[in-house]
Copies of this chain bind each other. A is one copy, B any other.
Amino acid sequence: MTYIPISPMERDAMLKTIGVKTIDELFKDVPAKHRFPELKLPAAVTEMEAAADMDDLALGNESLRDLVSFLGAGAYNHYIPAVVDHILRRGEFYTAYTPYQPEIAQGTLQAIFEYQSLITALTGMEVSNASHYDGATAVAEAVNLAYAQFRGKRNRVVISPAVHPQYRAVVRTYTQGMGIELAGDDARADLEAGPEALGALVDDNTALVIIQYPDFFGRIHDPAALIEQAHARGALVCVAANPTALALLKTPGELGADIVVGEGQPLGIPLSYGGPYLGFFATRRQYVHKMAGRLVGETEDNRGQRAYVLTLTAREQHIKRDRATSNICTNQGLMALASAVYLAVVGRSGLRQVAELCFHKAHYAAETLGKLPGFSLCFSAPFFHEFSLCCPKPVQEINRHLLEHGILGGYDLGQDYPALKDHMLLAVTEMNTKDDIDALAGVLAEVCHG
Contact = CB atoms under 8 A, between A and B. Distances in A.
Contact of A51 (B55, B79, B86, B89): B79
A47 interface: yes
A48 interface: yes
Q: Interface residues of A toward B: which range? A: 10 to 19
A268 to B, nearest CB: 13
A47 B86 contact: no
Contact of A82 (B51, B79, B82, B430): B51
Please give the count of copies of this chain that the complex contains. 2
Contacts of A48: 79, 430-431
Contacts of A297: none
Interface in A72-121: 79, 81-82, 86, 89-91
A65 interface: yes
A47 B431 CA distance: 12
Contacts of A89: 86, 89
A144 to B, nearest CB: 39
A86 B79 CA distance: 23
Contacts of A430: 48
A356 B91 CA distance: 34
A89 B86 CA distance: 8
Contacts of A65: 55
Contacts of A81: 47
Nearest to A90: B90
A251 B55 CA distance: 37
Nearest to A50: B82
Interface in A370-428: none
Interface of A: 47-48, 51, 55, 65, 79, 81-82, 86, 89-91, 430-431
Please provide the 9 A-B residue pairs with the shortest distance between their CB atoms, ordered closest to farther. A48-B79, A47-B81, A89-B89, A47-B82, A48-B430, A55-B65, A86-B89, A51-B82, A51-B79
13 contacts: A47-B79, A47-B81, A47-B82, A48-B79, A48-B430, A48-B431, A51-B79, A51-B82, A55-B65, A86-B89, A86-B91, A89-B89, A90-B90
Given A47-B81, A51-B79, A86-B89, 10 more contacts: A47-B79, A47-B82, A48-B79, A48-B430, A48-B431, A51-B82, A55-B65, A86-B91, A89-B89, A90-B90
